């Protein structure tokens, strides 16, 4: 490789790795595995070592594991990502460095040799599981949680204190009298167990929202939710592994963590003190197998010198401690042939290719099917029928095809061709500008889309009807349901003709249908399945258009004037209401008793004291949020969907959203309490 080739390759790797960093840390949507990323990074480091004249100040090799772009890593004012995240960036008192890592036992042995060459004192190693989550740094003062920062770029992190306080395993107050220092930092990992990850992705799948690729991304995304109260239901856990305190006088890392546990903080039970490097390798080999039975994802083993004084003597490089390293497990793969490919059509018309595989054991389960994601991914992999493919589980959960073993491709194998027409209704497929994937535009005539709309309509976040997908399939096949309104015309006699339906199950379903008529307007709007209208967008629309009639008569400019409603969403709404079949469905559902107007319309107006005021609410009040919204509207006010220049006041309760408070302060929007609101309205009642 000559100098020009080296320079071009270094610049190319810089660009690729910066993009992968953004996908991983900011978007929580990685496109390559950790193993593939590490290979690219190692190539970059080797080239930079040979050609240091081509090292760029913004190279990702100089900013390992950063959720910030190098150009803005130290500039909060110019960092648009930070503004979009809505979290305040703060400096770490002690830098959060990255660990060196390896996939090779020879490098683990070389690490041991470096330690023994630097010191002649006897020492042991503390070996612990490397939790696959998102790093966190907690500060406690006088036994109270004072601050929680993400790793960020190691120098600065995002303040996520309000969200961390919603994680049950992280105590806000330490155990009295347990001997904790006046002030200390402790670092660890916030992660999402498989059970919580499965539950979260299942709900996303029902709503046809993009799934999290793995538990790490789910944990990172959950930690950055804008409303702290939403974090509590995500099932996040925490384990802590590194204490920083000048007041402590522990001699070993193990001893420090034993005391940390006594203070009431969560530490890992999966740790072991090892006295030789052979014991370390034995520990690694044990967990490389045993990890498959753990209830959470782990991607390796962290090996630390146990003696804290020796740690100080060994010190640090610019990027990582010299006294610790990580052995990373290679992703578990299985090689199996593709038998055929199905093309599934979702309720929004998106066509997803799914490979049917010869059954193979992977991470403790039998895998028979794996997603190919979309047409572009199929073309990138160059899939042929009967190809042998490598299958992995993203985060040990979602089967995906990562590569083709072309050396085993049969002569004359046929290339898999993505269809031009809908596999269900035969309509010509289309690509929608600005959206990934290929779609069937026949929303109201494609059977798979129509059945998908029923499944969405009855889902928990929509109408909440106690009916499963198999029952929907039976009702459809028997001709009992063709349009959404048909659900409310079902009879006991019809239900009793279904498989496994008895008198009680039929009565329960009819009762659930009746109960769904009490579901609020925003849920009904979401349940209609308008393309690009998610749960939050439906709430925003319901807040701004108090009845379905108001929404149906709104023009494009009127829709786009609302915060968070762009051209794509506005066009979806206009297209939906332009079709007579949808107007008919809404009219019939209204006759059946579903709510197509905000209950606030029926609230008795108490005063005009808040007339013309747009009020954004955040936090927990002495009454429910719905009651608070109704109270504001009863006094003539309007509840805003977000903080903007049009917002008059930000009403805060306990545990307000930090991002909303910061944005209100930046825009000079007055912040008022619940008591102040009542004072403003009390004289007018």
Q: What is the pLDDT of residues 217-226, one digit of tens each?
A: 889 888 988 7
Long-range contact pairs involving 417-422 (C-beta distance under 8 Å, separation at least 24): 418/343, 418/351, 418/353, 418/375, 418/378, 418/379, 419/343, 419/351, 422/345, 422/351, 422/446
Residue 685 banded pLDDT, cuts 50, 70, 90:
very low
Would the pLDDT of 457 be above 80? yes
Instruction: Looking at the structure, tell me whether residues 171 and 276 fall in a common domain.
Output: yes
Whether the pTM exceeds 0.85: the reply is: no
Residue 657 banded pLDDT, cuts 50, 70, 90:
confident
Residue 629 banded pLDDT, cuts 50, 70, 90:
confident
The answer to the question of residue 154 being in a domain is yes
The answer to the question of residue 657 being in a domain is yes
Q: Which of 245-259, 295-309, 410-424, 526-540 has the lowest mean pLDDT?
A: 526-540
Rounded to an integer, what distance in angstroms lies between the CA atom of residue 668 and that of residue 656? 17
Predicted local distance difference test score (pLDDT) of residue 577: 95
Rounded to an integer, what distance in angstroms lies between the CA atom of residue 34 and that of residue 36? 5
Instruction: Looking at the structure, tell me whether residues 609 and 505 fall in a common domain.
Output: no
Residue 626 banded pLDDT, cuts 50, 70, 90:
low
Rounded to an integer, what distance in angstroms lies between the CA atom of residue 426 and that of residue 287? 51
Predicted local distance difference test score (pLDDT) of residue 85: 47
Name the residue with higher pLDDT: 58 or 519.
Answer: 519
Name the residue with higher pLDDT: 117 or 655.
Answer: 117
Instruction: Give the chain's domain count.
Output: 5
Predicted local distance difference test score (pLDDT) of residue 67: 57
Average pLDDT (258-287) is 94
Average pLDDT (284-302) is 89
Express the helix, strand and coil content of the chain in percent, nearest 5 each. Answer: 40, 20, 40
Q: What is the pLDDT of residues 586-603, one digit of tens each?
A: 999 999 999 999 875 444
Instruction: Looking at the structure, tell me whether residues 491 and 593 fall in a common domain.
Output: yes
The answer to the question of residue 260 being in a domain is yes
Average pLDDT (42-63) is 82
Token digits of residue 78: 């110019």
Name the residue with higher pLDDT: 30 or 678.
Answer: 678
Average pLDDT (271-291) is 94
Task: Residue 534: give its domain's CATH number.
Answer: 1.10.150.20
Instruction: Looking at the structure, tell me whether residues 106 and 176 fall in a common domain.
Output: yes
The answer to the question of residue 83 being in a domain is no
The answer to the question of residue 423 being in a domain is no
Domain C-terminal end among 599, 632, 652: 599
Predicted local distance difference test score (pLDDT) of residue 70: 46
Predicted local distance difference test score (pLDDT) of residue 82: 40
Predicted local distance difference test score (pLDDT) of residue 28: 56
Task: Residue 665: give its domain's CATH number.
Answer: 3.40.50.10190
Give the active site residue among 130, 400, 451, 629: 130
Average pLDDT (262-286) is 95
Q: What is the pLDDT of residues 4-52, one digit of tens each?
A: 888 888 888 888 888 777 666 655 556 666 667 777 888 888 888 888 8
Rounded to an integer, what distance in angstroms lies between the CA atom of residue 148 and that of residue 166? 12
Domain C-terminal end among 580, 599, 618: 599
Predicted local distance difference test score (pLDDT) of residue 72: 42
Chain-centroid distance, C-alpha 612: 37
- The verdict on whether 130 is a catalytic residue reads yes
Task: Residue 339: give its domain's CATH number.
Answer: 2.40.50.140
Beta strands 237-244 and 144-150 are unpaired
Contact 302, 328 (CB under 8 A): no
Residue 605 banded pLDDT, cuts 50, 70, 90:
low
Rounded to an integer, what distance in angstroms lies between the CA atom of residue 235 and that of residue 225? 13
Average pLDDT (126-137) is 94
Q: Which of 121-125, 394-398, 515-519 has the lowest mean pLDDT?
A: 394-398
Residue 637 banded pLDDT, cuts 50, 70, 90:
confident
Rounded to an integer, what distance in angstroms lies between the CA atom of residue 674 and that of residue 625? 12
Average pLDDT (169-176) is 92
Would the pLDDT of 398 be above 80? no
Predicted local distance difference test score (pLDDT) of residue 295: 87
Instruction: Looking at the structure, tell me whether residues 229 and 204 fall in a common domain.
Output: yes
The answer to the question of residue 425 being in a domain is no
Residue 521 banded pLDDT, cuts 50, 70, 90:
very high
Instruction: Looking at the structure, tell me whether residues 196 and 303 fall in a common domain.
Output: yes
Contact 173, 108 (CB under 8 A): no
Chain-centroid distance, C-alpha 408: 37
Rounded to an integer, what distance in angstroms lies between the CA atom of residue 353 and that of residue 338? 12
How distant, in Å, are the alpha carbons of 224, 619, 632, 668 from that of 162?
Answer: 10, 11, 26, 22
Residue 245 banded pLDDT, cuts 50, 70, 90:
very high
The answer to the question of residue 79 being in a domain is no
Instruction: Looking at the structure, tell me whether residues 593 and 579 fall in a common domain.
Output: yes
Instruction: Looking at the structure, tell me whether residues 362 and 472 fall in a common domain.
Output: no
Residue 639 banded pLDDT, cuts 50, 70, 90:
confident
Task: Residue 53: give its domain's CATH number.
Answer: 1.10.287.610
Side-chain-side CA neighbours of 443 within 13 Å: the count stands at 12
Q: Could you tell me what percent of the chain has a pLDDT over 70?
A: 89
Q: What is the pLDDT of residues 406-451, one digit of tens each?
A: 999 999 899 999 999 999 999 999 987 766 689 999 988 999 999 9
Domain C-terminal end among 294, 328, 362: 328
Residue 63 banded pLDDT, cuts 50, 70, 90:
low
Predicted local distance difference test score (pLDDT) of residue 75: 38
Residue 267 banded pLDDT, cuts 50, 70, 90:
very high
Rounded to an integer, what distance in angstroms lies between the CA atom of residue 78 and that of residue 135? 24
Average pLDDT (609-615) is 88
Task: Residue 221: give its domain's CATH number.
Answer: 3.30.470.30
SS3 407: helix
Predicted local distance difference test score (pLDDT) of residue 386: 93
Chain-wide mean pLDDT for the chain? 86
Residue 396 banded pLDDT, cuts 50, 70, 90:
very low
Q: Which domain holds residue 643?
A: 604-682
Predicted local distance difference test score (pLDDT) of residue 631: 83
Instruction: Looking at the structure, tell me whether residues 224 and 317 fall in a common domain.
Output: yes
The answer to the question of residue 73 being in a domain is no
Instruction: Looking at the structure, tell me whether residues 634 and 676 fall in a common domain.
Output: yes
* Bridge partners, residue 619, by sequence: none
Instruction: Looking at the structure, tell me whether residues 254 and 383 fall in a common domain.
Output: no
Instruction: Looking at the structure, tell me whether residues 169 and 205 fall in a common domain.
Output: yes
């Amino acid at each position: 490789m000559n100098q020009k080739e080296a320079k071009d390759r270094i610049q190319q790797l810089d660009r690729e790795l910066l993009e992968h960093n953004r996908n991983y840390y900011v978007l929580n949507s990685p496109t390559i595995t950790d193993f593939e990323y590490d290979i690219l990074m190692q190539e970059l480091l080797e080239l930079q070592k040979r050609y240091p004249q081509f090292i760029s100040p913004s190279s990702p090799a100089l900013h390992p594991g950063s959720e910030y772009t190098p150009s803005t890593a130290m500039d909060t004012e110019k960092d648009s990502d930070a503004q979009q995240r809505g979290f305040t960036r703060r400096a770490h008192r002690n830098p959060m460095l990255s660990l060196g890592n390896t996939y090779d036992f020879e490098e683990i042995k070389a690490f041991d040799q470096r330690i023994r060459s630097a010191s002649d004192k006897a020492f042991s190693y503390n070996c612990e599981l490397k939790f696959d989550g998102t790093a966190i740094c907690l500060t406690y003062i006088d036994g109270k949680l004072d601050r929680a920062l993400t790793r960020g770029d190691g120098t600065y992190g995002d303040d996520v204190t309000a969200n961390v306080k919603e994680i049950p395993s992280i105590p806000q107050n330490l155990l009295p009298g347990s001997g904790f220092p006046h002030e200390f930092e402790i670092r660890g990992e916030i992660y999402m167990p498989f059970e919580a990850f499965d539950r979260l992705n299942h709900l996303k799948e029902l709503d046809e929202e993009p799934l999290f690729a793995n538990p790490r991304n789910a944990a990172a995304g959950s930690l950055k939710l804008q409303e702290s109260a939403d974090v509590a239901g995500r099932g996040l856990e925490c384990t802590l592994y590194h204490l920083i305190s000048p007041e402590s006088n522990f001699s070993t890392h193990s001893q420090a963590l034993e005391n940390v546990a006594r203070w009431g903080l969560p530490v890992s039970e999966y740790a072991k003190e090892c006295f030789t490097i052979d014991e370390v390798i034995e520990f690694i080999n044990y967990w490389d197998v045993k990890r498959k039975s753990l209830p959470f994802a782990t991607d390796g083993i962290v090996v630390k010198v146990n003696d804290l004084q020796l740690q100080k003597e060994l010190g640090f490089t610019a990027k990582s401690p010299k006294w610790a390293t990580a052995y990373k497990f290679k992703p578990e793969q299985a090689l199996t042939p593709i038998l055929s490919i199905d093309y599934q059509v979702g309720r929004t018309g998106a066509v997803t290719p799914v490979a049917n595989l010869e059954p193979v054991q992977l991470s403790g389960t039998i895998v028979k099917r794996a997603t190919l994601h979309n047409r572009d991914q199929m073309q990138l992999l160059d899939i042929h029928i009967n190809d042998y493919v490598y299958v992995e589980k993203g985060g040990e959960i979602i089967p995906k095809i990562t590569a083709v073993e072309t050396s085993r491709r049969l002569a004359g194998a046929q290339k898999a061709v993505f269809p031009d027409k809908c596999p269900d209704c035969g309509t010509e497929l289309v690509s929608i500008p600005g959206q990934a994937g290929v779609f069937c535009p026949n929303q109201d005539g494609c059977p798979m889309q129509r059945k998908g709309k029923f499944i969405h309509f009855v889902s928990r976040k929509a109408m909440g009807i106690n009916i499963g997908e198999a029952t929907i399939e039976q009702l459809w096949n028997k001709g009992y349901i063709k349009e959404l309104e048909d659900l409310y015309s079902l009879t006991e006699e019809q239900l009793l003709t279904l498989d496994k339906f008895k008198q009680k199950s039929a009565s329960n379903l009819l009762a659930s249908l009746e109960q769904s008529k009490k579901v609020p307007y925003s849920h009904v709007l979401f349940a209609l399945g308008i393309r690009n209208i998610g749960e939050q967008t439906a709430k925003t629309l319901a807040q701004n258009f108090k009845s379905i009639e108001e929404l149906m008569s709104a023009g494009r400019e009127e829709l786009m004037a609302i915060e968070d409603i762009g051209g794509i969403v506005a066009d979806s709404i206009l297209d939906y209401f332009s079709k007579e079949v949808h107007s008919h469905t809404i009219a019939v559902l209204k006759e059946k008793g579903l709510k197509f107007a905000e209950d606030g319309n029926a609230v008795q107006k108490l005063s005009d004291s808040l007339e013309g005021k747009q009020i954004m609410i955040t936090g927990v009040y002495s009454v429910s949020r719905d009651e608070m919204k109704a109270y504001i509207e009863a006094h003539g006010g309007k509840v805003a969907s977000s903080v903007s220049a049009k917002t008059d006041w930000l009403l805060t309760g306990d545990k307000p959203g930090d991002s909303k408070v910061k944005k209100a302060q930046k825009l000079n929007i007055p912040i008022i309490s619940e008591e102040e609101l009542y004072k403003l309205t009390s004289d007018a009642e």
